[in-house]
Copies of this chain bind each other. A is one copy, B any other.
C-alpha cells in the first residue's frame, strides 16, 4: 500500500478549487477517451508486450544465454527503465544486469564497452523517433566495437523499440530484426510502461506484470474518483506555480536516485511551456536524496526564498534492514540514543523530522509513503507522477505532451558539422 499525506500547508486556499479539480479531471478523461495521451492505457495494453517478450525468449537461445541487457537509448528511452532497475535490484539478486549506454561521453562508453561480452549480451536500440543522434551513433560504435553481424549470426541479439512509422523501424524491418512498438500517442517521457521499459525489465527477469498491475490500480482509482488527492495537489501546484515555482522531490533511499531523475525529466519537459495565451509557465523540478541532501539543500529550503514546495518519498520497510549496534564511542555518547535502532528507522525518522521542520515553516509539503520498494509500489509511483503531471498541465492550459523548445538546438547541432566538413 502507498499512503498519500497532504499537509494542511498544501491545501491553502485555491479559488474555486472544486471547480478546477472537476475541470482537470474532465481534461484527463478527454485525453484518455480521445487518445490524446496513450499512457493511461499502458497498464492494460503492455501485458501483450510482456507476453510477446516471453514468447520470444522461449524460442531464442541467444536470449536465454544472455546475462546482460544492453540498452542503447537516451532520455525518455532510458530514464524510466533505469529508475526501476535501480530501485528493484537490491532485493532481486538474480536479475540480469542491464547496462545503459546513454550519454555520448567517450570515456563512459569505453568503460562500459569493456564490461560487455557480446556472446552473453542482448542489444536493445530504443528511440521513439528513430533518429536520435546519440542513440544511432552509439549503436554504430557498438556494431563496430563488437563486430555485430546484424544480417548474420547476431541478428537475434539486436532488438529495436521504436514508433511504428519511424526510420528505425524501417531499418529493423529491412534487416529482419525483432522490434517492439511504442504507441503513437505515448511520448518518450511517458513511455516507461510501454515496450520501452517492459522489454528490458522483462528480459532482466523482473515481475513486470506486477509493475503494470500496480499502475493499473491507480488508473482505476483515479478515474473512479478514489484518488482525488492527486487532483487537489495538482490544482494547488498549478494555481500557485508563480509562488512555489520549484518542486523538490526529497526521496529517502539511495536507490531512488534514478527515480528522481525520471521525475525531473517528466516534470521539466512536460510543464515548462508557453501556455495558450503566450505566457511562459513552468514548475522547476529538483530531485534530492535523504538524508545526504539534508546536508546540502535543506538550508536553502528552510531559510531561502519561499519559492519551493517539497514532496517527501519514504519507504516503510526496506526488506533487509541493519541494526545500529549498541556501541558507545567515548566522548560521543550523545549519539547513543540511536543504538539498537535500525538504519531504516534512522532514515525514516530523519525524513519525518525534516518534514516537520519544513512544514513548521509553512512551506507546502506532502508525503508519499510506500510500504515496500517492489514492482507493484513502483508501478503505482510511476503512474502517480504521470497523472500528477497531466493534471498540472491541464490546469495550466499547456500542451503537456510536446517539447518544441528542444528543436532549435538540434538544428544548430547539424549545422556545426555541415560547416566543418
Contact = CB atoms under 8 A, between A and B. Distances in A.
Most chain B beta-carbon contacts within 10 A, residue among A255, A280, A298? A298
A318 interface: yes
Interface stretch (A213-221, A269-277, A379-387): A269-277
Contact of A416 (B299, B307, B325, B349): B349
B108 A255 contact: yes
A82 to B, nearest CB: 10
Interface string A107-146: 1111100000000000000000011011011011101100
Contact of A289 (B103, B131, B302): B103
A367 to B, nearest CB: 15
Contact of A133 (B102, B171, B335, B404): B335
A174 to B, nearest CB: 5
Contacts of A34: none
Interface string A333-371: 011011101111011011011101110100000000000
Given A291-B74, A409-B354, A136 B329 contact: yes
* Chain copies in the assembled complex: 2
A68 to B, nearest CB: 19
Given A109-B343, A110-B322, A291-B103, A350 B413 contact: yes
Interface in A240-294: 242, 245-246, 253-255, 261, 264-265, 268-269, 271-274, 280-282, 284, 286, 289-294
A4 interface: no
Nearest to A418: B337
A108 to B, nearest CB: 4
Interface residues of A, number: 122
A76 interface: yes
A349 to B, nearest CB: 5
Contact of A246 (B139, B284, B353, B403): B284
B303 A131 contact: no
A58 interface: no
A42 B285 CA distance: 35
Main secondary structure of the interface of A (DSSP, over half): helix
A364 to B, nearest CB: 16
Contacts of A168: 331-332
A75 interface: yes
A353 to B, nearest CB: 4
A412 interface: yes
Most chain B beta-carbon contacts within 10 A, residue among A106, A139, A349? A106
Interface of A: 74-76, 79, 90-91, 102-111, 130-131, 133-134, 136-137, 139-141, 143-144, 167-168, 170-171, 174-175, 188-189, 242, 245-246, 253-255, 261, 264-265, 268-269, 271-274, 280-282, 284, 286, 289-308, 318-325, 327, 329-332, 334-335, 337-339, 341-344, 346-347, 349-350, 352-354, 356-358, 360, 403-406, 408-410, 412-414, 416-418, 421
